[in-house]
Amino acid sequence: MQYPQAEIGVFGGSGFYSLLENADEVRVDTPYGAPSAPVTVGEISGRRVAFLPRHGTAHQYPPHMINYRANVYAMKLLGVSRIIGPNACGSLQPHVKPGDFVICDQFVDCTWGRKDTFYDGPTTTHVSSADPYCPVMRQVAIDKARELGITVHERGTVVVIQGPRFSTRAESRWFASQGWEVINMTQYPEAYLARELEICYCNISLITDHDAGTEGIEPVTNEEVIRVFNENNEKLKRLLHAMIPALPAERDCICAHALDGAAF
């Protein structure tokens, strides 16, 4: 089947449908099953963009039940070569505050049982994830966030937990003691699967609160988390509108050549 084409993909929440102009909904069939929802394909500043809510249109898929392979492969079928992956996250460090954005450069995987590769054989394929996020996209995100006056941390490590439960205080203190900045439930295997398909991927971590064991920080209320979440979404929309037209048309980054020499 011939699908409409886009060059940039966005995974996010249902509040971002309004970002796209001249938008159409597309149902995509993949070898890995159905993605979380139909994909909306439209334009931002003249660039063709595909949007997919990773948790589904009604947020019906918890993190451990998302079909990450179908979601990422759907983007591939639509011609996407770059994916922006914003997500709500907790902070593990006092200096990373609610309302801040973190453009992560590393992840630590603490999930289990998730389908996390496209290469199940018969050809053995080892794709490097030493630097899992696209350096070109990361720099554009950092530069545009600064121009917009958004408090942004230009690097950080996100530890990805299985979910749907949150961490105990002991687990949170352990993660923080490693120096990791951000905690989340969806970055793995989403980011790595993009790399396996030679798609550039940029994480934008939207900090809503401090995790349970953050030293010297009192737990926040649910009302405060919702307030910060809504403020972050408005800032993210401005950032995406600034970032997408600034992405270069050509790619010559590590992501575009990830499969070179990977098959054995």
What's 235's domain CATH number? 3.40.50.1580
Q: Quick check: is 149 in a domain?
A: yes
Q: Is residue 1 part of a domain?
A: no
Q: Are the CB atoms for 180 and 158 separated by under 8 Å?
A: yes
Helix 187-196 crosses helix 68-77 at what angle (to 10 degrees)?
40
d(CA 55, CA 65): 9
Instruction: State the pLDDT at residue 19.
Output: 77
β 101-102/152-153 pair status: parallel
Q: Does 262 map to a domain?
A: no
23 CA to centre of own chain = 22
d(CA 26, CA 41): 7
**CA-based radius of gyration for the chain:** 18
Q: Say what the pLDDT of residue 224 is.
A: 75
- Residue among 116, 131, 211, 260 flagged as catalytic: 211
Q: What is the pLDDT of residues 128-143, one digit of tens each?
A: 999 999 999 999 999 9
Residues in the chain: 264
The confidence score (pLDDT) of residue 221 equals: 67
Handedness of CA 158, 159, 162, 165 (dihedral sign): negative
End-to-end CA distance of the chain: 31
Asked if the structure places residue 2 within a domain, the reply is no
Six-digit token string for 122: 């018969």
Nearest to 54 by CA among 172, 201, 241, 175: 201
Q: How many helices (H) and strands (E) does the chain have?
A: 5, 11
Instruction: Give me the catalytic one of 100, 109, 209, 252.
Output: 209
Phi-psi map region of 70: left, alpha, beta (phi>0 left; psi -120 to 50 alpha): alpha
- Which parts of 92-221 fold into alpha helices (H)? 135-147, 169-177, 187-196
pLDDT in tens, 20-43: 888 899 999 999 999 999 999 999
Residue closest to 51 by CA, chosen among 87, 83, 93: 83
C-alpha closest to that of 183 among 198, 173, 197: 173
The amino acid occupying position 212 is A
Q: Which of 201, 226, 238 is nearest to 88 (CA)?
A: 226
Q: Which residues contact 73 (CB under 8 A, 6 or more apart)?
A: 30, 31, 32, 35, 118, 197
Domain-embedded: residue 83:
yes
Q: How many domains does the chain have?
A: 1
The answer to whether 131 is a known catalytic residue is no
| Distance from C-alpha of 152 to C-alpha of 138, rounded to nearest angstrom | 11
C-beta separation of 151 from 99 below 8 A: yes
- Residue 86 in domain: yes
Residue 3 belongs to a domain: no
Per-residue pLDDT of the chain (264 residues; tens, 9 = 90+): 789 999 999 998 655 666 788 889 999 999 999 999 999 999 999 999 999 999 999 889 999 999 999 999 999 999 999 999 999 999 999 999 999 999 999 999 999 999 999 999 999 999 999 999 999 999 999 999 999 999 999 999 999 999 999 999 999 999 999 999 999 999 999 999 999 999 999 999 999 999 876 766 766 666 777 788 888 888 999 999 999 999 998 999 999 999 999 988
In 3-state terms, what secondary structure has residue 52? Answer: strand
> Is residue 264 in a domain?
no
Instruction: Please tell me the predicted confidence (pLDDT) of residue 16.
Output: 67
Domain that holds residue 34: 8-257
* Amino acid 156: pLDDT: 98
Q: What is the pLDDT of residue 8?
A: 98
